[in-house]
């Protein structure tokens, strides 16, 4: 970072050093410190700072500093026609407001009107701003090169903006962070606070937190988003996605995004960013959905549309173990109640399981005997949809699963389903091969010993 160390030179020429090696003026603002001792703001400025603050509050006339060496050399550097522009800007740096040009400048050649800086920034600034030493010490190596270039961002004299900033923060920061113009570009939606000020979230001089954040995540976000705070605070089941590494920023771009709700990616790839691997959660292993989708050809409608959220809407956490929008009974056997499959009936006709007979509602029938009804719609050992279908994807028609989890032992029971033009056959681990045909019904098989009313008994693994 190139620091601007040049003194002003209104008369041109001259080969004097820009910065005097040692300050020749004795002043309280230059405080030497022994190793380890903290730098202090000069006593005079402390007093003046207070006086200024008071005068600002009380509207009293400003306290003027005692005449200084420079002021004696040139009684009024800011008189009309000279450096009056400095004094006319809305925000004046305190020393300048006091006319104390010599706090920073030293006359080096009165005749040629040459004034060097008494020290180069940041040392010049550190004389009075002792906290700046900590900013420099705590910044990362690369960032500290930036932080030491105080006058890159601050005008040492006066400015049109608070904190003597040379430009509005977005433009100021955007000088180096080339993403900023993109964030504000027409193809993205920028985050509310971004358009105002980067320093709402970032400390411009660095902070001990990652990414120079002023407040740690996720509190930073939750501080403004009360409804999400409420949501995650009251969720019975939390989604670890917002408590790991980048917290909310795992899914949301804190600056701007092309996808609505500031999402980093479209739904499916947003989720698969993490669910493209097995995830250990307590003593269970959560399926690698990415691999499942890569290995199978028949993807369920909403997944083909890239919309995981069609079913999993509780992204921030909620009440459902599987973060589902509506109820879905996930056990193998479930005593029937249509509300237990409310999720599926968001999009599919409840009729598939409603009536014992009828040719209109489902292809899973033998003649007009509804086999969905027969398997699912019963109080004792009703099968859930999951007993046959994989809700995400499979290589079978109608998303029939190749294997389904059965029993407590973790047995993956094969279904061995085969479709025909007018029906199908399956040979699952739980009963003998069975066929159905919509046109020419297959006679109901003779129940085997120990079978349930419909002739289906779970077999041992
Ligand atoms: C707080 C320190 C400080 C004070 C007080 C100060 N200056 Fe400066 N001045 C600087 C620095 C630092 C530079 C170097 C230019 C830069 O980095 O922007 C500078 C540069 C200048 C320049 C060169 C042109 C420019 O803007 O770069 C002029 C002229 C100048 N100062 C005049 C004055 C006058 C007149 C006063 C008093 C009314 C004054 N300064 C008070 C720090 C100060
Ligand atoms: C001679 C002492 C002195 C020097 C040298 C000095 N400052 Fe200051 N600065 C002050 C005082 C006094 C204030 C007002 C204090 C306050 O409000 O806390 C101030 C205020 C500021 C502010 C806040 C302005 C605002 O409106 O909020 C900034 C930014 C600043 N200084 C930057 C600098 C930079 C950059 C340098 C070095 C180029 C520098 N200062 C050098 C004394 C100094
Ligand atoms: C990358 C730009 C940048 C650099 C470099 C920078 N500042 Fe700042 N500074 C800011 C911004 C932006 C603010 C407004 C802070 C805010 O509102 O949180 C600020 C605020 C300040 C303030 C007033 C508020 C405070 O935190 O006390 C002082 C004093 C100050 N800076 C001094 C310095 C000094 C001294 C240096 C060099 C060691 C420096 N700054 C370097 C951007 C910068
Ligand atoms: C003069 C160039 C420059 C300016 C101006 C600048 N930065 Fe930086 N910024 C850097 C550099 C260099 C790094 C360090 C990058 C690295 O470590 O890889 C950095 C890093 C950062 C980081 C990341 C820190 C981290 O730990 O990952 C943030 C956040 C940041 N700057 C915010 C800002 C903000 C906000 C502003 C405006 C107030 C700003 N920067 C102005 C050059 C700049
Ligand atoms: C609403 C808060 C917020 C605002 C406003 C904000 N940032 Fe950030 N910024 C963050 C968070 C949070 C991260 C860390 C993201 C992460 O962990 O992945 C970050 C990261 C960064 C980084 C590190 C690299 C990156 O892209 O992740 C830079 C650089 C940065 N911000 C610059 C800026 C600049 C410049 C502005 C103003 C134009 C700004 N930020 C405004 C919250 C914010
Ligand atoms: C200073 C307050 C503030 C902070 C801090 C903040 N936000 Fe925001 N956020 C807003 C405002 C204001 C809006 C725009 C108004 C709105 O849509 O609610 C917004 C909008 C959003 C939106 C878009 C809402 C929608 O329906 O499209 C998301 C998502 C969001 N913020 C996430 C975050 C995340 C993640 C963080 C932490 C990195 C964060 N916010 C930090 C104030 C904040
Ligand atoms: C797993 C990804 C993910 C994580 C992690 C995440 N979100 Fe979201 N967030 C989303 C999705 C997806 C939406 C869109 C919701 C919708 O369409 O109903 C959203 C919507 C939002 C909205 C706008 C809608 C609303 O309800 O106001 C805000 C604000 C928001 N999130 C903030 C946060 C905050 C704060 C965090 C961190 C505590 C966070 N999000 C963590 C995925 C996530
Ligand atoms: C940042 C990584 C990450 C992202 C992004 C993410 N998840 Fe997760 N998800 C996890 C982790 C880790 C777990 C296991 C811990 C837990 O249950 O919260 C999990 C658990 C789940 C579970 C519960 C599985 C079970 O059986 O307990 C579902 C369902 C889920 N995620 C769906 C989604 C959906 C849908 C999305 C996209 C909107 C998504 N996830 C995005 C990390 C992520
Ligand atoms: C049609 C509704 C639906 C859609 C769309 C959907 N899911 Fe699911 N998902 C479920 C149901 C129901 C379960 C619980 C039953 C199960 O585990 O098979 C589940 C379970 C999960 C699990 C937990 C698996 C386990 O081993 O515990 C994860 C992770 C998951 N889904 C991620 C996703 C992702 C990622 C997408 C988008 C690519 C997605 N889901 C799309 C309905 C859906
Ligand atoms: C968000 C809407 C939606 C939800 C919720 C939903 N589905 Fe689907 N489902 C679809 C779409 C769309 C198709 C594809 C229809 C097509 O391709 O003609 C489909 C297809 C199917 C098929 C295959 C039909 C065929 O003939 O190949 C089965 C089986 C299925 N869904 C079962 C379920 C189950 C079980 C649930 C509950 C876990 C469920 N669906 C939840 C929208 C949904
Ligand atoms: C015993 C296994 C089994 C169970 C349990 C089951 N299905 Fe099916 N389902 C099938 C078979 C086999 C087909 C394919 C029928 C054909 O095309 O020949 C099918 C087809 C479907 C279709 C495609 C349209 C149709 O009916 O032909 C939908 C939608 C569907 N099932 C939804 C569900 C829902 C929702 C549940 C849970 C409430 C469920 N299934 C339970 C075996 C089952």
Residues 6+ apart with CB under 8 A from 88: 158
Mean pLDDT of 224-242: 94
Nearest ligand for residue 384 CA:
11
Contact yes or no for 422/437 (Cβ under 8 A): yes
What spacing in Å lies between the alpha carbon of 240 and ligand 8's midpoint?
Answer: 7
If you take atom 21 of ligand 9, which residue's CA is the nearest one? 322
Site to probe by mutation for ligand 8, drawn from 323, 328, 392 as the one with most ligand atoms within 8 Å of Cβ, is 323
Burial readout 253-285 (b: 16 or more C-beta within 10 A, e: otherwise): bbbbbebeebbbbebbebbbebbbeeeeeeeee
Structure token pair of residue 178: 């080339």
Structure token pair of residue 383: 């099968």
What spacing in Å lies between the alpha carbon of 343 and ligand 3's midpoint?
Answer: 54
Contact yes or no for 19/128 (Cβ under 8 A): no
pLDDT at 68 over 60: no
Any atom of ligand 3 within 6 Å of the Cβ of 206: no
Q: Cα separation of 114 and 75, whole Å?
A: 15
Q: How long, in residues, is the chain?
A: 461
If you take atom 29 of ligand 5, which residue's CA is the nearest one? 177
Any atom of ligand 6 within 6 Å of the Cβ of 315: no
pLDDT at 404 over 80: yes
Structure token pair of residue 188: 């993205």
What per-residue confidence (pLDDT) applies to 439? 95
- Give the chain's mean pLDDT: 81
Strand-pairing partners, residue 299, are 393
Mean pLDDT of 410-437: 90
What per-residue confidence (pLDDT) applies to 41? 35
Site to probe by mutation for ligand 9, drawn from 283, 392, 406 as the one with most ligand atoms within 8 Å of Cβ, is 392
**Residue 317 parent element (H or E):** strand 317-318
Strand-pairing partners, residue 105, are 117
Site to probe by mutation for ligand 2, drawn from 128, 131, 154, 162 as the one with most ligand atoms within 8 Å of Cβ, is 128
Q: Judge if pTM exceeds 0.75.
A: yes
Mean pLDDT of 4-8: 38
User: 241: closest CA among 265, 213, 208?
Assistant: 265
Q: Percent of the chain at pLDDT above 90? A: 57
What spacing in Å lies between the alpha carbon of 239 and ligand 8's midpoint?
Answer: 6
Q: How far is CA 224 from CA 155, 193, 317, in A?
A: 32, 10, 19
pLDDT, tens digit (0-9, with 9 covering 90-100), for 350-395? 989 999 998 888 999 999 999 999 999 999 999 999 999 999 999 9
pLDDT, tens digit (0-9, with 9 covering 90-100), for 159-216? 999 999 999 888 899 989 999 989 999 999 999 998 778 999 999 998 888 999 999 9
For the beta carbon of residue 192, count every other beta carbon within 10 angstroms.
10
Mean pLDDT of 134-139: 82
Is 110 in a helix, a strand, or coil? coil
Contact yes or no for 66/102 (Cβ under 8 A): no
pLDDT at 56 over 70: no
**What is the Cα Rg of the chain in Å?**
37
Site to probe by mutation for ligand 10, drawn from 323, 340, 396, 399 as the one with most ligand atoms within 8 Å of Cβ, is 399
If you take atom 22 of ligand 4, which residue's CA is the nearest one? 211
If you take atom 33 of ligand 6, which residue's CA is the nearest one? 221
User: 415: closest CA among 375, 446, 443?
Assistant: 375
Mean pLDDT of 112-124: 92
Any atom of ligand 3 within 6 Å of the Cβ of 204: yes
Ligand 3 atom at minimal distance to the Cα of residue 198: 12
Band of residue 30 on the pLDDT scale cut at 50, 70, 90: very low
What per-residue confidence (pLDDT) applies to 216? 95
Structure token pair of residue 42: 């000069």
What per-residue confidence (pLDDT) applies to 460? 36
Nearest ligand for residue 285 CA:
9
| Domain residue extents for the chain | 8-126, 186-325, 326-461
Band of residue 445 on the pLDDT scale cut at 50, 70, 90: low
pLDDT at 247 over 50: yes
What spacing in Å lies between the alpha carbon of 297 and ligand 11's midpoint?
Answer: 18
Full 3-state SS string of 126-144:
HCCCCHHHHHHHHCCHHHH
Q: Cα separation of 374 and 44, whole Å?
A: 92
Band of residue 225 on the pLDDT scale cut at 50, 70, 90: very high
Any atom of ligand 6 within 6 Å of the Cβ of 215: no
Q: Cα separation of 155 and 333, whole Å?
A: 73
What spacing in Å lies between the alpha carbon of 255 and ligand 5's midpoint?
Answer: 6
Q: How far is CA 91 from CA 66, 67, 88, 159, 373, in A?
A: 22, 23, 8, 5, 78
Is 86 in a helix, a strand, or coil? helix
Contact yes or no for 89/161 (Cβ under 8 A): no
CA 374, distance to chain mean position in Å, is: 48
Structure token pair of residue 373: 């009804």
If you take atom 28 of ligand 10, which residue's CA is the nearest one? 398
Site to probe by mutation for ligand 7, drawn from 228, 233, 235, 268 as the one with most ligand atoms within 8 Å of Cβ, is 228
Contact yes or no for 415/406 (Cβ under 8 A): no
Mean pLDDT of 26-46: 33
Phi–psi pair at 100, nearest 5 degrees: -90, 65
User: 100: closest CA among 62, 64, 73, 126?
Assistant: 64
Task: Identify the residue with better confidence: 396 or 23.
Answer: 396
Band of residue 117 on the pLDDT scale cut at 50, 70, 90: very high
What per-residue confidence (pLDDT) applies to 257? 96
């Amino acid at each position: 970072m190139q620091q601007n160390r040049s003194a002003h030179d209104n008369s041109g020429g001259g080969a004097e050093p820009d910065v005097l090696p040692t300050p020749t003026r004795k002043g309280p603002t230059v405080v030497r410190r022994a190793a380890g001792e903290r730098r202090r703001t000069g006593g005079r400025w402390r007093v003046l700072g207070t006086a200024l603050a008071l005068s600002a509050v009380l509207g009293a006339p400003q306290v003027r500093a005692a005449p200084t060496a420079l002021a004696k050399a040139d009684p009024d550097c800011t008189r009309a026609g000279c450096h009056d522009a400095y004094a006319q800007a809305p925000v004046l740096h305190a020393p300048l407001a006091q006319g104390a040009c010599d706090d920073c400048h030293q006359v080096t050649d009165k005749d040629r009107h040459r004034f060097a800086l008494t020290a180069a920034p940041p040392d010049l600034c550190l004389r009075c701003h002792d906290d700046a030493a900590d900013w420099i010490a705590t910044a990362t190596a690369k960032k500290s090169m930036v932080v030491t270039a105080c006058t890159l961002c601050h005008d040492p004299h006066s400015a049109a903006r608070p904190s003597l900033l040379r430009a509005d923060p977005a433009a100021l920061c955007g000088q180096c962070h080339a993403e900023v113009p993109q964030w504000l570009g027409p193809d993205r939606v920028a985050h509310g606070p971004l358009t105002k000020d980067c320093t709402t979230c970032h400390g411009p001089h660095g902070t001990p937190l990652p990414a120079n954040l002023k407040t740690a995540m996720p509190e930073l976000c939750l501080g403004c988003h009360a409804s999400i705070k409420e949501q995650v605070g009251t969720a019975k089941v939390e989604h670890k996605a917002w408590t790991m590494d980048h917290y909310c920023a795992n899914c949301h771009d804190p600056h701007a995004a092309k996808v609505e709700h500031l999402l980093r990616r479209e739904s499916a790839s947003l989720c698969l960013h993490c669910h493209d691997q097995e995830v250990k959660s307590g003593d269970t292993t959560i399926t690698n959905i990415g691999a499942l989708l890569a290995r199978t050809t028949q993807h369920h409608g909403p997944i083909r549309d890239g919309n995981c959220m069609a079913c999993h809407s509780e992204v921030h956490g909620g009440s459902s173990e599987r973060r589902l929008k509506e109820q879905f009974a996930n056990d193998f056997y479930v005593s029937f109640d249509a509300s237990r499959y409310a999720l599926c009936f968001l999009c599919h006709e409840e009729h598939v399981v409603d009536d014992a007979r009828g040719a209109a509602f489902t292809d899973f029938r033998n003649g007009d005997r509804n086999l969905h009804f027969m398997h699912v719609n019963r109080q004792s050992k009703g099968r859930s949809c999951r007993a046959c279908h994989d809700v995400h994807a499979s290589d079978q028609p109608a998303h029939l699963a190749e294997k389904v989890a059965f029993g407590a032992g973790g047995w993956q029971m094969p279904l061995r389903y085969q479709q025909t033009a007018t029906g199908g056959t399956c040979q699952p681990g739980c009963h003998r091969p069975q066929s159905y045909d919509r046109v020419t019904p297959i006679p109901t098989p003779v129940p085997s010993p120990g079978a349930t009313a419909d002739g289906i008994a779970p077999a041992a693994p």
